[in-house]
């Protein structure tokens, strides 16, 4: 993989991990368009590096929130931070179960599935349109809400369904405050990403060759920097109820992918 391809994939991952347009779907489309011929080990390593970069960017943006949560947990008291942490754990359960029970089926959804990605991008667009029209409230995330949002995250494992779009839209449709919805959505994914990275590292023999170092560094930096910008921007957009623009984008890209799959590929 060349430096330009690594830069492009890093920017795509950093932007689409937080913007509601599906990072997995865009990476699949990008790899397809670039004619990705990476061997599985190299492709896996780049995927791990890019996801690590976006996880780190989340930690940087929400460093104060995370520090407050950890301080609360270290006190071993039933406080607000402990309750929030339990809700985060609850939200992780559906995605973890789906990932463990249907790993082979999930892997089959990736790898040039242009039609599937296009169809799921349209689903994402519909969710965003519905969320943008929901009323603004001051409601917090309940235990029940955490499970429902977690189910939305599990469904978003499919390429083309935006994880942030699905979780934030679900939160807003549950009448949760938009700022709280964005905060919960972004924080709940950090343990999932880190857990998935650890699993992949333990289950696969990944080695780094000298020629891979530069592309990995370029991809990491690109994903990290654009991730910070996209995460900060997305929080402001959710507060102002401006998700319709992303819905239009998802409709356009989704229909383009479907047309390509049917008439060109």
Does residue 32 carry a pLDDT above 90? Answer: no
Residue 200 has pLDDT above 90, yes or no: no
245 vs 203, more confident = 245
CA Rg, the chain, in Å? Answer: 18
16-19, long-range: CB < 8 A, 24+ apart: 16/162, 16/230, 17/51, 17/54, 17/163, 17/164, 17/223, 17/227, 17/230, 18/54, 18/164, 18/186, 18/227, 18/230, 18/231, 18/233, 18/234, 19/162, 19/164, 19/230, 19/233, 19/234, 19/246
Residue 210: pLDDT over 90: no
Rounded to the nearest integer, the mean pLDDT of the chain is 83
In this prediction, residue 204 carries a pLDDT of: 60
**pLDDT > 50? residue 160:** yes
Contact 97, 154 (CB under 8 A): yes
Question: By the 8 A CB rule, do 133 and 173 touch?
Answer: no
Distance linking the first and last C-alpha atoms of the chain:
24
Q: How confident is the model at residue 40 (pLDDT cuts 50, 70, 90)?
A: very low
The predicted pLDDT at position 41 comes to 47
Mean pLDDT is lowest, of 160-164, 196-200, 249-253, for 196-200
pLDDT at 39: 41
Tens of pLDDT, residue by residue over 212-237, are 788 889 999 999 999 999 999 988 88
User: Token pair for residue 198?
Assistant: 């650890």
What whole-number percentage of the chain has pLDDT above 90?
29
Please write the tens of the pLDDT for every residue from 63-116. Answer: 988 888 777 777 777 778 888 889 998 999 998 898 888 877 777 776 667 888
**pLDDT tier, 44 (very low <50, low <70, confident <90, very high otherwise):** low
pTM for the predicted model, two decimal places: 0.84
């Amino acid at each position: 993989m060349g430096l330009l391809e690594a830069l492009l994939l890093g920017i795509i991952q950093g932007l689409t991990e937080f913007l509601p347009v599906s990072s997995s779907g865009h990476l699949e489309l990008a790899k397809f368009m670039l004619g990705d011929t990476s061997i599985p080990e190299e492709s896996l390593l780049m995927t791990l590096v890019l996801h690590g970069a976006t996880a780190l960017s989340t930690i940087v943006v929400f460093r104060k929130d995370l520090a407050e949560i950890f301080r609360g947990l270290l006190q071993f008291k039933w406080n607000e931070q402990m309750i929030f942490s339990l809700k985060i754990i609850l939200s992780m359960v559906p995605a973890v179960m789906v990932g463990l029970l249907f790993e082979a089926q999930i892997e089959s959804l990736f790898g040039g599935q242009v039609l599937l990605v296009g169809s799921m991008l349209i689903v994402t667009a519909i969710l965003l349109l519905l969320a943008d029209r929901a009323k603004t409230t001051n409601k917090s995330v309940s235990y029940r809400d955490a499970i429902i949002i977690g189910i939305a995250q599990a469904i978003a494992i499919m390429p083309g369904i935006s994880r942030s779009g699905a979780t934030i839209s679900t939160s807003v449709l549950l009448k949760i405050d938009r700022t709280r919805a964005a905060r919960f959505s972004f924080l709940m994914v950090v343990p999932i990403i880190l857990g998935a990275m650890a699993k992949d590292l333990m289950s696969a023999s990944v080695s780094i060759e000298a020629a891979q170092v530069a592309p990995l560094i370029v991809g990491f930096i690109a994903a990290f920097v654009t991730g910070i910008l996209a995460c900060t921007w997305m929080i402001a957009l959710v507060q102002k109820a401006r998700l319709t623009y992303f819905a239009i984008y998802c409709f356009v890209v989704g229909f383009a992918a479907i047309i390509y799959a049917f008439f060109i590929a």
